[in-house]
Structure 1
Amino acid sequence: MVELVRQDNPRQGAMLLALSALLFAIMGVLIREVSMGVNNETVVFFRNLVGVFFFLPMMLIKGLAPFRTQCLRSHFLRTFYGLGAMYCFFYAIAHLPLADAMVFTYAAPVFTPLIAWWWLRESLNTRILGVVLLGFIGVLLVAKPSGALFEPKALAGIAASLLAASAFVAIRAMSNTEPASRIVFYFATFSTLLSAIPMLWAWQPLNTQQLGLLLAVGLVATTSQLVMSRAYALAPPGKIGPLSYLAIVFSALFGWYLWGEMPGWSSWAGAGLIFAASLLSISAAPSRTKSG
């Protein structure tokens, strides 16, 4: 097995993760639109199916060599966490206000450093925990969570946070041998196969607009996954994870532009905390990490 050097470039990783957050926010808008007439199982299936087709040109040009791996078990584990998070996240978007759903999903960085410490033995200190807490407070201020947070449906959002955090750490665990494109390829392939099973009883007819939105969801989501996988390969989750909170800022802007949801003072204050936490996360992180 060819082993790649595990990189530690927090600035470049932070920039890529910010781009990934923007793409995830766009994906959330698309999912909210298409979920008005399409069930959750269909949305998840098409999101993954488009991801597989995304790699066809590469396969035709380079063959299967770039996708050969000796880490099938690790890829399946990453798929298990990621696909579970996807079902929960899409369900939350369809049944909760968009801001509430985004709060749950992008609360994943709150859990990521702890999971990375337990799983990979990544270094963890009180400063990192403090920065993560600061970012989470900012998320709450931006989203202005409603009473939906206390409804049973909110459990899907909480599950999305935990599963997404585990998926992020799984990506980091494979980054010493698996490039980002291979990680996303196996995630798309395994997720398509698994999400095809519910389609046996959940399939529904689709019109042209719905099909177009589903294709757009898949394209944006796959691109975001590629960018995110590369970001976590460049730096430990504990260093750059808080940048995922930027998706809340982007979602607030989209909400204002598309649906007239004007952010209040708490949103702007929260945005300031999120940006502060994002910048502080790089300086607060320890210079060396342990891996195991």
Structure 2
Amino acid sequence: MTTRSVKPLHGAALLALSALLFSLMGVGVRVVSVSVNNESVVFFRNLVGVLFFMPLLLIKGVRPLKTTRLKSHLWRTTYGLAAMYCFFYAIAHLPLADAMLFTYSAPLFTPLIAWWWLKEPLTKRMLVTTCIGLVGVLLVAKPSAALLDSQALIGMAASVLAAFAFVSIREMSDTEPAFRIVFYFSLFSALISVIPLAWAWQPIQQHDVLLLVAIGLLATASQIIMSKAYGLAPPGLIGPFAYLAIVFAGVIAWLRWGETPDLTSLLGAALIFSASLLSITRRMRG
């Protein structure tokens, strides 16, 4: 078995950057979903992801994209695409804080899935820090009564499916570089997500096209960075850093719509940072 290198600081920093880009993407999805349906948003997000790699193909050909792990890429696509549909639906139909909460609670499940799937160690410290981070997310997001709605189940499904996608990235990161993982995810997802457009296609305005392109670029860049992050450290170790997306979303909402964080939000942010730092320092001492 190939020995994976573990670089928690680098992995955590990259995952934090990925969380920032994902939060920006989420805001874009929320805006464009007012006039564009979920099927079209998912398709264009993946189409832009494929086009993102065209310069690489033109310069270096298909050689860098050759793989012997096609089955692993298909599994990663299955989990990730299903999570994407659920996530975009939640953003369009639930309060933004609730949707972000569901999606970025995925790190709550990643240590358990990584322990079951990859046989990676699961310590009490990991479970405690993850729970602390989740409490912080609840304090920042202050979920509304929409959590009790049946639509919330779709948001929860996005969280669990995203956790499986994260661990699947870790599983093949010993041989697959980040750009290859993201390319196959975008390619397979675009091919699959074009099917629903047969009955869900709608005309799209020019300004919406520009926003969809921006969403796709943000998503693809964040996917590459996230894939690299989970290749540098186990999901159970750096997963809490994905919670930072909630903090970033709160800051963006403050800057964009004048929503000011209260004492509860600040306390939640402190818990999120504390859980993230505890998970890193624990591994560094070990």
Give me the TM-score of the superposition, normalised by structure 2: 0.98
Deviation of residue 187 (structure 1)? 0.2
Residue in 1 that maps onto 2:62: 64
Q: CA separation of 1:155/1:49 partners in 2, compared to 1, >3 Å: closer, same or farther?
A: same
2:183 corresponding residue in structure 1: 185
- Letter matched to residue 224 of structure 1: S
Q: Aligned ranges for residues 68-107 of structure 1 at < 5 Å?
A: 68-107=66-105
2:261 alignment partner in structure 1: 263
In structure 1, distance between residues paired with 2:247 and 2:284? 27
Instruction: Find the partner of 2:221 among 223, 227, 248.
Output: 223
Question: What amino acid sits opposite 1:34 in the alignment?
Answer: V
Are the counterparts in 2 of residues 127 and 285 from structure 1 also a CA contact under 8 Å? no
Structure 1 distance, partners of 2:14, 2:40, is 29
| Residues 4, 175 of structure 1: 8 Å contact kept | no
Q: Which runs of 5+ in 1 are unaligned?
A: none
Partner residue of 2:15?
Answer: 17
2:148 aligns with one of 123, 147, 150: 150
1-structure distance, mates of 2:236, 2:18? 17
Flag as ranges the 4+ runs of structure 1 deviating above 2 A.
283-288
CA distance in 2, matches of 1:4, 1:65: 22
Unaligned runs of 5+ in 2: none
Q: Deviations over 1:151-170 (max 9, x none)?
A: 00101110000000000000
Aligned partner letter, 2:173: S
- Offset from partner CA, 1:259-280 (integer Å, 9 cap, x none): 2222111100000000111111
The residue aligned with 1:118 is 116
- Matched residue type, 1:116: A
Q: Which residue of 1 aligns with 2:274?
A: 276
1:234 Cα deviation (Å)?
A: 0.5
Identity of aligned residues (%): 63
| C-alpha separation in 2, matches of 1:169 and 1:102 | 20
1:92-139 C-alpha deviation (Å, 9 max, x unpaired):
000011110000000000000000000000001101100000000000
In structure 2, the partner of 1:7 is 5
Amino acid at match of 1:9: K
